[in-house]
Amino acid sequence: MSFGDPNNPYGQPQGQQPGYQQPGYPPQPPQGQPVYGYPQGVPPQQPGYGYPQQQAYPGYPGHPGGNQLPMEMPGLMKTSRVLLFILSGFQILFGVIAGIAFGAAQDVSNGVGSGDDTDMLAGLGFLLAALMVGMGALSIFLGVKFRTGGSGIRITTIVYAGLMILGGLVNTVSGQGGSVTFGGLISLAMAGIILASMVNGAASAWFNRPRY
């Protein structure tokens, strides 16, 4: 029996049985037969050694590609934010009006020759007017920082609301049922809502949320 020409490079090596493959080589299909599972003429593709296929990184909360939507500001905090803007408008307005009123009163005192006696009172009035304008500016700052601020803004807002409650109580007690008492009650209500929105778990989660 002949096993082919030993000098033929395409012939089967001598001493091997038909269908035998040399170790260390992947099995090769017989000539002229298609590779099952792959289209004819297209050899199966092997992944590159040492280069694993790239996998998509999972998204994280707050990221547009993540599987969670960005956290939304709690509803009570939105209400408090609006109240801060409203309070700032009243505080700045009353501060400007108070400053003009004390200045006009001091001018009258100077005109009648008693300006030296009212200098201290006028100074206290201007200080009160400046304090009200400053509180209005702080209200605007806190309201703006509600969206991007951290725990420091929360603590500052709690202190601010506490001062507003204290001032509202003083005005309510000393107002003797007049307009000052009414203003004190309004301040108490607004400051109470702001304080309540800052001391709950939703506010803590909002100001301590991760930012990317």
Split into its structural domains, the chain has a count of: 1
Q: Does residue 5 belong to any structural domain of this protein? A: no
Residue 154 lies in a domain: yes
Can you give the pLDDT at residue 159?
A: 95
pLDDT in tens, 106-143: 888 777 766 666 778 878 888 989 999 999 999 999 99
Question: When comparing pLDDT for 203 and 58, which is higher?
Answer: 203
**Does residue 149 sit within a domain?**
yes
Q: Is the dihedral of CA 114, 118, 120, 126 positive or negative?
A: negative
Range of the domain at 81: 75-207
* Strand segments (E) across the chain: none
d(CA 152, CA 140): 16
Q: What is the pTM of this model?
A: 0.62
Evaluate whether residue 184 is within a structural domain: yes
Lowest mean pLDDT of 8-17, 64-73, 93-102, name the range: 8-17
- Nearest residue to 209 via CA among 108, 51, 47, 63: 63
pLDDT digits (tens, 9 = 90+) for 179-190: 778 888 888 999
